[in-house]
Chain A
């Protein structure tokens, strides 16, 4: 983490969707730097925009979505300005690649596994036929599929969920991408398989020198994989920092709420600290801190003025008025301050 070489930099990105004539602001001024070689996890509940934000890095927004503002710099080019598929194709696969959530739907059920990997290799690496096939078999071996020569000629339905996800990963990394985006890669899988897939991605990252972006809502997975964590709420990044800083020294009330709602922190027989209410309606302009209506300890200013980012350390920043020097004295919730001890006590 010493020499910080920025591989992708998003600045003030705004993304809108038009739905039946109405405008939905899915991403509201999001800025994020991604460093070469790191594993970054983006956390948030469904609808927070974590998927939309990262999909904009690879040009896979739904057709009614547009980047209306901001820039995304990658390789000296502003990819937010890309219009045509042709432009995107110079980037996809080789530079940035993506693993989708559900291995049941991201493979073509009518095509053999091997052909689907070969297809990607032929398209991006410029090799054809038998040579591409050899690379494909090598990829299958790399992602830990036994008997790759035989498996090459099988169809997706002959694979279990975990094995299918391995195939999807093989396709994604077959062209040596520099950035791998994993969109909830393990939510559809069992815990034991999940642990294996996370291990596999970690191994491949080392082997191929990749930068990995995880999108997930499972804080356990985040703890397992991430060097850095960004927390998203209602289309904005509200806090980011090193994994230890986010887990052990959280500052944004939404991060508190996510951590406190973990069943691991709950005492049997006592209520969990649920997050009440629902995320804000993104069709209307949000005033102040988007999380304020659900925050029991919200300050008066939270409803009026949007907080800027405040530095906690050089790497750790949070977007909350609690960090303003003018903020009245307050105590963070005890289970956040003592998070580390509580988890230690519960687990071992």
Chain B
């Protein structure tokens, strides 16, 4: 735990849209580090801001406060052109919907190599073709697919093309935004295996954004639970599932359907009611309650959580 290298540091970040009276704060006071080589997951419902955070790391959404550091360098706000290009190259994204994220009018060859064009990462056309074919093979597709159009592929294959496009740039950090939620059950396992294999082969670090906790449990090392733009709990996967503290985490865990008909039919659903917190006097804070286990709460709540842990 001690000597892990921090690849991404997110410090007190706030992201807002609009300005003046229309200003809307989507994400506030977000703090987490992602260590090199781990899979870090952000879990929350739609509209909670998990994708917004991922996009902020990629510099797609500007931040309105706080810092985001990549390998110790600040990458949000105004940065030099050189660093900007490095960030674009080293941080890549895999999108949710393979039906919507590929250019329908471009051939697979162009879709995958667009990043190479932009960065002149190839010597000549032969070199480029070779790179594209290798990328295709790397994700388990045939090299001759390069001359086809996206509509000729199934959902799982399209998602593989999306992964190949991200990985041809040789990134160090990949933001995977719900990469399997649009896929069919039988394909999900294939894509999860592929992501895990590529991570081991290329030494990648993932930020995995998802709402399905059963998948997250399988793939991630650490999990942050986000509710309405605020991270409410962060811990290692086993710790979070064994000792969930924040009531929202508990509600979320109780809502995952377990494929066991006997258990499912007698389970009790916990519903999270945000008005249960009384933060009027006792101000909440982001506290490390146990090594590596963070939770958001005020003094009274933290006391309660401590008791629960014992």
Instruction: Name B204-258 residues within 8 Å CB distance of A.
Output: 211-215, 217-219, 237, 251-252, 254-258
How distant is the Cα of A273 from the Cα of B188 in the complex, in angstroms?
10
List the B side residues contacting A161 at CB < 8 Å. Answer: 46
Q: How far is the CB of A296 from chain B (nearest CB, A)?
A: 14
How many residue pairs link A and B with beta carbons under 8 A? The number is 124
B106 to chain A, nearest CB (A): 24
Please tell me if the beta carbons of B211 and A191 are within 8 angstroms of each other in the complex. Answer: yes
Known contacts A261-B188, A271-B196; is-contact A194 B262 (Cβ 8 Å) = no
Residues of B within 8 A of A194 (CB): 255, 257
CA distance A95 to B190 in the complex (A): 41
Contact A191 to B255, CB < 8 A, known contacts A263-B214, A271-B196: yes
Q: Is the CB of B237 within 8 A of A262?
A: no
Contacting pair A258 B257 (CB below 8 A): no
0/1 string, B163-199, CB within 8 A of A gives 1: 0000000000000000000001111111011001100
- Point out the residues of chain B lying under 8 angstroms from A199, CB to CB: 269
Given the contacts A161-B46, A190-B46, A272-B218, A264 and B255 also touching, CB distance less than 8 Å: no
Cβ contact within 8 Å between A190 and B190? no
A3 within 8 A of B: no
- B18-58 CB contacts (< 8 Å) to partner A: 45-46
Q: Contact at A257–B186, with CB atoms within 8 Å?
A: yes
Asked if A343 contacts B46 (CB within 8 A), the reply is no
> Is A268 close to B, CB under 8 A?
yes
CA distance A220 to B258 in the complex (A): 5
| In the assembled complex, B259 has its CB within 8 A of some CB on chain A | yes
Given known A-B contacts A218-B257, A343-B260, A264 and B214 have beta carbons under 8 A apart: yes
Contacting residue for B263 out of A222, A271, A275, A347, CB 8 A = A347
The CA of A172 and the CA of B85, in the complex, are separated in Å by: 53
The answer to whether the Cβ of A18 comes within 8 Å of any Cβ in the partner chain is no
B237 CB contacts on chain A under 8 angstroms: 268
- Shortest beta-carbon distance, A183 to chain B, in Å? 15
A272-B193 contact in complex given A193-B45, A221-B257, A223-B259, C-beta closer than 8 Å: yes
Residue of A nearest to B39 (CB): A268
Q: B261 touching A191 by the CB < 8 A rule?
A: no
Q: Tell me, yes or no, whether B272 is within 8 Å of chain A by CB.
A: yes
Known contacts A268-B237, A343-B260: does B265 contact A224 (CB below 8 Å)? Answer: yes
> Is B154's beta carbon under 8 Å from chain A?
yes
Q: B197 to chain A: which residues have CB within 8 Å?
A: 271
Chain A CB within 8 A of B12 CB: no
Q: Within 8 Å of chain B (Cβ to Cβ): is A301?
A: no
Interface size on B, residues (CB 8 A): 41
Please give, as numbers and ranges, the residues of chain A lying within 8 Å of B187 by CB-CB distance.
Answer: 45
**Please, which residues of chain A bring their CB within 8 A of the CB of B262?**
244
Q: Nearest B residue to A262 by beta-carbon distance?
A: B259
* Cβ of A334 under 8 Å from chain B: no
Q: When chains A and B are docked, how far (Å) is the Cα of A191 from the Cα of B217?
A: 15
| Docked CA distance A226–B261 (Å) | 8
Complex CA gap A156/B70 in Å reads 42
Are A264 and B190 touching (Cβ within 8 A)? no
B261 touches A247 (CB 8 A): yes
Residues in B with CB closer than 8 Å to A261 are 185-186, 188-189
Chain A's interface size range is 35 or more
Asked whether A224 and B192 contact (CB < 8 A) given A191-B213, A258-B185, A259-B259, the answer is no
Q: What is the chain B residue whose CB lies nearest that of A347?
A: B258
Judged by a CB distance under 8 angstroms, whether A192 is at the interface is: yes
A46, A217, A244: which has the most chain B beta carbons within 10 Å? A46
Pair B255/A192 contact, Cβ less than 8 Å: yes
User: Which chain B positions have C-beta within 8 A of A297?
Assistant: none
A222 contacts across to B, CB distance below 8 A: 259, 261
Chain B residue numbers with a CB within 8 Å of A221 are 257
Q: How far is the CB of B148 from chain A (nearest CB, A)?
A: 16
Which chain B positions have C-beta within 8 A of A272? 189, 192-193, 218
B219 to chain A: which residues have CB within 8 Å? 263, 268
Q: Which residues on the A side are within 8 Å of B185 (C-beta)? A: 45, 217-219, 258, 261
CB of A304 closer than 8 Å to a CB of B = no
In the bound assembly, the distance between CA atoms of A193 and B255 in angstroms comes to 9
Confirm or deny: B5 has a beta carbon within 8 angstroms of a beta carbon on chain A: no
Chain B residue numbers with a CB within 8 Å of A247 are: 259-261
Report the minimum CB–CB distance from B141 to chain A (whole Å). 13
The answer to whether A157 has its CB under 8 Å from any CB of chain B is no
Chain A residues with CB under 8 A of B258: 220, 223, 264, 343, 347
Count chain B CB atoms within 10 A of each CB in A195, A219, A244, A271 and give the residue with the most.
A195
Q: How far is the CB of A144 from chain B (nearest CB, A)?
A: 12
The reply to whether B186 and A275 contact each other, CB–CB distance below 8 Å, is yes
Nearest B residue (CB) for A340: B260
Known: A271-B196, A272-B189. A195 touches B255 (CB 8 A): yes
8 A-B pairs with least C-beta separation:
A220-B257, A274-B189, A243-B261, A263-B218, A272-B189, A261-B189, A190-B45, A223-B264
B contact set with A: CB distance below 8 Å: 45-46, 154-155, 184-190, 192-193, 196-197, 211-215, 217-219, 237, 251-252, 254-265, 269, 271-272
- Can you spell out 15 A-B residue pairs with CB atoms less than 8 angstroms apart? A190-B46, A195-B255, A218-B185, A220-B214, A221-B257, A222-B261, A223-B257, A223-B259, A223-B264, A243-B261, A244-B261, A263-B219, A264-B214, A271-B193, A275-B186
- Further 18 A-B residue pairs, CB within 8 A, beyond A194-B255, A268-B237: A45-B185, A191-B211, A192-B45, A219-B259, A220-B214, A221-B257, A223-B259, A223-B263, A223-B264, A247-B261, A262-B259, A263-B215, A263-B219, A268-B218, A268-B219, A274-B193, A275-B189, A340-B260
